[in-house]
């Protein structure tokens, strides 16, 4: 573990398993840090300096005006390995990945040619549950590209969405319509 300048680390949101950063959770982490709670070290890729685990801890440290942070460096052999580690670390502790986040992970894993069994293990689920997730939480857009769908469009899994439905999915909070 080493202590480094915050500015030396990169936050690559396109490689993050979560669709969005939870501001409320981030404020709670910042408050805990301000109260003197020792947080786990950030995990980062040695070659690219990208954060693999600890986005909120890094953002909280920045918010508090910290200049340095503890980092554990890891050396990865591929983008797929970095992504699997990020998914595993985010699925296994702290705020759980939502089904929407898991569906995004599934699409990214396919882009990286990650085997379903490897992704299922990283997400701490069975391959069968991952297959079910694929059916429930993915739909196609008018251009026949797979997209993750939010709870607002529950029941549209496996279907082709219209442009209007795609736009609604992008703007929706993710809550089911009856909420």
pLDDT in tens, 145-164: 999 999 888 899 999 999 99
The pLDDT, as a whole number, for residue 174 is 67
pLDDT band at 133 (very low <50, low <70, confident <90, very high): very high
Non-local (6+) Cβ contacts of 9 within 8 A are 42, 44, 49, 50, 51, 58, 69, 71
Residues 67-112: tens digit of each pLDDT: 999 999 999 999 999 999 999 998 876 678 999 999 999 999 999 9
User: Model confidence over 111-123: pLDDT tens digits?
Assistant: 999 999 999 999 9
Give the length of the chain: 179
pLDDT at 124: 94
What mean pLDDT do residues 133-153 have?
94
pLDDT score at 82 = 95
Angle at 16 between CA 15 and CA 22, to 5 degrees: 155
How far is CA 94 from its chain centroid? 12
pLDDT of residue 161: 96
Predicted confidence at residue 22, as pLDDT, reads 77
2-40 pLDDT, tens digit each: 999 999 999 998 888 998 877 788 899 999 999 999 999
pTM here? 0.86
């Amino acid at each position: 573990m080493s202590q480094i300048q915050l500015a030396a680390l990169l936050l690559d949101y396109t490689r993050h398993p979560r669709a969005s950063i939870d501001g409320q959770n981030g404020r709670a982490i910042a408050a805990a840090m301000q109260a003197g709670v020792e947080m786990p070290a950030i995990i980062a890729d040695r070659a690219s300096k990208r954060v693999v685990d600890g986005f909120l801890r890094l953002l909280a440290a920045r918010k508090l005006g910290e200049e340095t942070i503890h980092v554990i460096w890891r050396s990865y052999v591929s983008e797929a390995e970095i992504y699997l580690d990020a998914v595993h670390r985010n699925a296994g502790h702290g705020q759980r990945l939502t089904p929407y986040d898991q569906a995004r992970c599934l699409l990214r894993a396919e882009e990286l040619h990650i085997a379903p069994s490897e992704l299922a293990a990283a997400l701490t689920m069975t391959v069968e549950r991952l297959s079910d997730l694929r059916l429930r939480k993915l739909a196609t857009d008018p251009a026949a590209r797979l997209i993750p769908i939010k709870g607002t469009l529950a029941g549209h899994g496996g279907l082709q969405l219209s442009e209007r439905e795609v736009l609604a999915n992008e703007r929706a909070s993710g809550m089911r319509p009856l909420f």
